[in-house]
Structure 1
Amino acid sequence: MIAVGAYGFAYGEPDRLLYPTDSNGSLCGKDEYADRPNLFFFDLLKCLKMGASVVTHGCPTPQVCVAECPSSTWTWYKQEFDEKLDSTKKADRAKYMFCKEGVNPQLSSKSLNELIEDGDCAPYTLPSKPIVGRCIPEIKAEFFEKLQSYNVTVNSSELEDGRDYLAIFLNAQEYGMKILQDVRASWHMCLVGLAMAMVLSFIWIVLMRWIAGVMVWVTLVLFVGIFGFATYYTIDKYLTLKDDSSSNTDVKFVASLDYYKNLSKTWLALAIICGTILGITLILLIFLRTRILIAISVIKSASRAVGSMIFTLFWPLIPFLLQVILFAYWGAAAIFLASSGSTKQYSLDPSNASEIVQNSLTEVAARIPCDPNKNSTLGSVCNFVKYGGDEYTAYLQYFMLFMLFWVMNFIVALGQVTLAGAFASYYWTMDKSNLVSFPVAKSLWRALRYHLGSIAFGSLIIAIIQMIRVLLEYVETKLKSYDNDFVKYLLKCLKCCFWCLEKFMKFINKNAYIMVALYGKNFCTSAKKAFFLLMRNIVRVVVIDKVTDFILFISKLVVVGIVGIVAFIFFSGDAKGLVPIDSISDYTAQNKPELNYYLIPVIIIVIGTYVIASGFFNVYNMGVDTIFLCFLEDEERNDGSADKPYYMSSDLKGILGKKNKSDETD
């Protein structure tokens, strides 16, 4: 990966992607074209009507670098009038024209018709503004109407389509600029919001030590109460409507919800669904109450472990920084690779543009390599399309994407092994007051010294599955033009299977890494041991996993909700009436930045808060999984004797009815 990146850095030129490129492959605003920073399209409408395919096929109209975009409307009458014009009028007309480099309409031996038809000069111009270095016409109906009246060789529907595409582009650009302005104006406030999210997540995890059990039971009671009431209500509605002849008609598919609301069969179906869920929940609570108590006790043990090793909460910052560095390196290398190699120019017949959009032409048939300094192929326009060699650049990009997946998963796995080692050292310490110093640092050292091979192998498996999923998405995109139901069905099945396989392997990997941290065995041995241990306790595993997921989900909602509400109140400027303290509402009104869209910083803070909360609670989740696996190992290999005492907490021993000999002595 480093070697491929070095190749890209050595031969790539990112300026090629930043500056617009004319038909000859020259950079506008760079080197000898430094005084001509804008790219002018002879007929921009032909680019716009191609849609997204313009990226791969190029725009089928000549493009030249110009110092300034056109500021006036000019069009060519498709008539042989050059001979009737004297030199003064001819020169006056020429100053409004945009032509290829070296072509002077005043001195050219060609007539104006020939210059236009040969693609040497633009057939018309519209007042334009430079947007990202491209001359984009202003959206004014009168210009298009005037252009239409001048009998330009594009029909009215193409003009309308072009105007719509331009409007979308300009609106998107305008929104983008306003959003960027809002981010610049509120970035410091966003950082304050994210810092608040970190503090709140930290406080919430500390509180989980005391409220985890309360949260679980309150939620279960509310769940039963809600579905109990729903079952009663739906049965009552069914009994009310079942004797009404108008509500017992055959069910029809209509758009109105009121129709279904007045059918007795609707309420019967809802009653069956609610009653089934209620019954299953009650059965699970009755028969799995002991396992739910185990789940709560494990969660409390994880909370105590986190409280004893506070640095575990800040550990996710290290993998996060490593992932940012990796992504930055990969992005830079990808940009340099994309800009490496020589210019690639192809000819494309403008008449084929609509067929390309409809995917009736293949890329090979639509594009023919050409030389802009020679005659164009088959009368079409020879244009620059991209940089790079198709023979190897694409494969290097695929390789870099695979390496991104592999190293990203490697960093995640390193973090999991490190946390697993720290939490395991907590569990297997009988006297928690004698916990080893710097447990996270020592666990990291063990992972780097002994377990890098297992980490690399496990992350490689996930990376291969993710790469296969990417290839399936690519194949599906390529086959969209073929209306084959069997192929669509097959691809959907493959995508679903590999999605499930990735989820399953991530679950296996996570528990395998815990075993790697516990026993120091290789990945395959640890994965096998973890898998069979979990299968022997599958009911406990499901209950622990789902209860933990639910608690963490609620916790994330609480943290994100609190921070999101505070951010909304602050940036909306409507603190009065919502905040009871006048000084706070006055401070909010005075310090709120001027924004185009006040929801932009709110959205940024909410997304950032979710990411931060996920980082904190993933540590908590890893603690629960590690302590649970240690608990299963403890239960199987120890018997409470003096030689083999239980290391589990007193809560767990009480739930399972187990004791150590030392407990009886005490």
Structure 2
Amino acid sequence: DPRDALEMQVPPEDPRDALEMQVPPEDPRGALEMQVAAKAVSKAPFVVLYSIVPFLALMMFSAWWLASAIFIYSSGDIKERDCTPLYWGAIETSTGISTDGVDSYYNTTGGDCGYEVELNRTLQYSLLYMLFGFFWVTQFIIASTLVTIAGVAYECYLCQGADAKVSINVVWHSLVRTVRYHLGSIALGSLIMAIIKFIRAIVAFISYKLKDLVDKNPLLKFLVYCVNCCLWFVDKIISIINRNAYVMIAIDGENFCSSAARGTSLALEFILQIAIINVVGDFMLLLGRVSITCACGIITFLALDGDVYNDVSSPLMPVIFVSVSAFVVSSIFMAVVEVVIDTMTLAYCDDVNDHNGKPEFAPPELMDALGLAWEDIKAEKEKKQAEEKKLVGEAVDDDDPSVIRT
């Protein structure tokens, strides 16, 4: 009967099911999240300029640290290497010619002769102290920037409506709030990251010193790879936990441990949705970096290839310089967008949990990106709770205390 075929083609009653049937294979959640982040940045444009400040701070600190490390290293004792004659002994034996007056430096085949710097214990500990301080200070600057930008993004999240505007001093207010209340939490989180990176650096140095021994022993080589892999994995996990903790510090204003626990629980609860947004968002940010870099390089090459700049012998070095500069600048700006995306996502998850599944401050685009996913999670939770209540009811009917305790 053709009417049966028509009944099979009737669209579902729930409009959300119809929308899900019409969704193309590509998941639009990452694109919607990018729109939300772009709108937030447009409400507070000074946050993009603020990102240049920590970049300059990192550059100045790195230059000072490098100069200090060179001064410490140059304070060691300069020792002459021992040079063992390689050829003159055999020549003297075979020909009978005395080689006593020949300088031993000419009796070697390569770089075995020369000078080396010997560092005493104090200088060695000073270099280790400088290395650990470099990791801690750089992580502290990065974390302070992340908390400040996350505070600005959360202010934009709370600002609803198309005509709503945030304060022009929102970046300054977020910076003051970070310096006044959150430096202790930032110092703790950056200390944890500095310890992990310091351990990785020490292991890498030991592996370099034992390179000849490691290459000859397959078992030792395998163990070194396993240790490096485990340390890399721990570094990535702690970085994710710290990043979520910094965002939650800007949102809730709690200490580091409470914020880390809260951010981790939200990330695990929305792990699928956050993973989709992060993968799609990171890919789009990478495309943005590559597009800007390639565009600047091509424009520079076309400009130098014309008749205006005839004195340039080769456009290779200017193109490389412009491309590297464009990549660095675009990475700074894209990092701001990435922090805004993470903040918007965790702010939405926190808003949903605080208001029983009905977010009060989420923008419409963010609702479209994550709303349906939360409805699915909520329905699954309610189903599990109903099953647990049913099991408890059956246990009470059986009057078996052991079953109830189980």
Instruction: Output the TM-score relative to the length of structure 2.
Output: 0.74
Residue in 2 aligned with 1:304?
Answer: 39
- 2:279 is aligned, of 541, 546, 566, to 546
Identity of aligned residues (%): 31
Report deviation, 1:548: 0.3
- Following superposition of structure 1 onto structure 2, how do residues 273-288 of structure 1 map, counting pairs within 5 Å? none
Residue in 1 aligned with 2:160?
Answer: 430
- 1:603 is aligned, of 320, 323, 330, to 320
Residue in 2 aligned with 1:594?
Answer: 312
Question: Per-residue CA shift, 1:145-180, capped at 9, x if unaligned?
Answer: xxxxxxxxxxxxxxxxxxxxxxxxxxxxxxxxxxxx
- Following superposition of structure 1 onto structure 2, how do residues 180-329 of structure 1 map, counting pairs within 5 Å? 292-329=27-64
- Following superposition of structure 1 onto structure 2, how do residues 263-412 of structure 1 map, counting pairs within 5 Å? 292-341=27-76, 343-351=77-85, 385-386=115-116, 389-412=119-142
Q: Cα 1:495–1:352, aligned 2, differ >3 Å: closer, same or farther?
A: farther
| Matched residue SS, 1:345 | strand
* Residue type of the alignment partner of 2:178: A
Kept in 2, the 8 Å contact 1:291–1:543? The answer is no
* Residue type of the alignment partner of 2:260: A
| Matched residue SS, 1:591 | coil
Structure 1, unpaired ranges of 5+: 1-284, 354-375, 574-587, 659-666
| Matched residue SS, 1:344 | strand
Residue in 2 aligned with 1:104?
Answer: none
Structure 2, unpaired ranges of 5+: 1-19, 88-103, 375-406
Question: Per-residue CA shift, 1:217-266, capped at 9, x if unaligned?
Answer: xxxxxxxxxxxxxxxxxxxxxxxxxxxxxxxxxxxxxxxxxxxxxxxxxx
| Matched residue SS, 2:160 | coil
Question: Per-residue CA shift, 1:323-355, capped at 9, x if unaligned?
Answer: 0111111011112112225x43345033379xx
Report deviation, 1:592: 4.5
Kept in 1, the 8 Å contact 2:41–2:47? The answer is yes
**Aligned partners of 1:288 and 1:476: how far apart in 2?**
51
* Residue type of the alignment partner of 1:488: K
Residue in 2 aligned with 1:95?
Answer: none
Residue in 2 aligned with 1:452?
Answer: 183
Question: Per-residue CA shift, 1:542-574, capped at 9, x if unaligned?
Answer: 101011011111111211111111122233x2x
**Aligned partners of 2:217 and 2:80: how far apart in 1?**
31
Kept in 2, the 8 Å contact 1:339–1:388? The answer is no
- Following superposition of structure 1 onto structure 2, how do residues 549-588 of structure 1 map, counting pairs within 5 Å? 549-571=282-304, 573=305, 588=306
Report deviation, 1:433: 2.1
Residue in 1 aligned with 2:241?
Answer: 508
* Residue 365 of structure 2 corresponds to residue 651 of structure 1: yes
For CA contacts below 8 A with separation 6 or more, give which structure has more relative contact order. Answer: 2
| Matched residue SS, 2:78 | strand
* Residue type of the alignment partner of 2:155: S
Q: RMSD between aligned alpha carbons?
A: 2.9
**Aligned partners of 1:286 and 1:453: how far apart in 2?**
49
Kept in 1, the 8 Å contact 2:352–2:359? The answer is no
- 2:147 is aligned, of 391, 396, 417, to 417
**Aligned partners of 1:398 and 1:651: how far apart in 2?**
49
* Residue type of the alignment partner of 2:174: S
**Aligned partners of 1:616 and 1:299: how far apart in 2?**
13
**Aligned partners of 1:526 and 1:484: how far apart in 2?**
45
Question: Per-residue CA shift, 1:637-664, capped at 9, x if unaligned?
Answer: 1258xxx861111234456379xxxxxx
Report deviation, 1:514: 0.5
Instruction: Output the TM-score relative to the length of structure 1.
Output: 0.46
**Aligned partners of 1:621 and 1:522: how far apart in 2?**
23
Q: Cα 1:400–1:349, aligned 2, differ >3 Å: closer, same or farther?
A: same
Count of residues in correspondence between the two structures: 329
Residue in 1 aligned with 2:385?
Answer: none
Q: Kindly indicate which of the two structures has a greater share of residues assigned to helix.
A: 2
**Aligned partners of 1:609 and 1:328: how far apart in 2?**
21
Report deviation, 1:298: 2.4
Q: Cα 1:286–1:403, aligned 2, differ >3 Å: closer, same or farther?
A: farther
Kept in 2, the 8 Å contact 1:337–1:388? The answer is no
Q: Cα 1:294–1:486, aligned 2, differ >3 Å: closer, same or farther?
A: same
Question: Per-residue CA shift, 1:451-494, capped at 9, x if unaligned?
Answer: 11111111111111111111121111121222111111011111
Residue in 2 aligned with 1:204?
Answer: none
Kept in 2, the 8 Å contact 1:457–1:523? The answer is yes
Report deviation, 1:615: 0.5
Q: Cα 1:592–1:490, aligned 2, differ >3 Å: closer, same or farther?
A: farther
| Matched residue SS, 2:168 | coil
Residue in 2 aligned with 1:627?
Answer: 344
Q: Cα 1:615–1:645, aligned 2, differ >3 Å: closer, same or farther?
A: closer
Kept in 2, the 8 Å contact 1:345–1:385? The answer is yes
Report deviation, 1:406: 0.9
Question: Per-residue CA shift, 1:343-393, capped at 9, x if unaligned?
Answer: 43345033379xxxxxxxxxxxxxxxxxxxxxx9xx99xx97345642221
- 2:330 is aligned, of 595, 613, 625, to 613
Q: Which runs of at least 4 in structure 1 moved beyond 4 Å after TM superposition?
A: 285-291
Question: Per-residue CA shift, 1:186-239, capped at 9, x if unaligned?
Answer: xxxxxxxxxxxxxxxxxxxxxxxxxxxxxxxxxxxxxxxxxxxxxxxxxxxxxx
Decide which moves more: 303-312 or 630-639.
Answer: 630-639
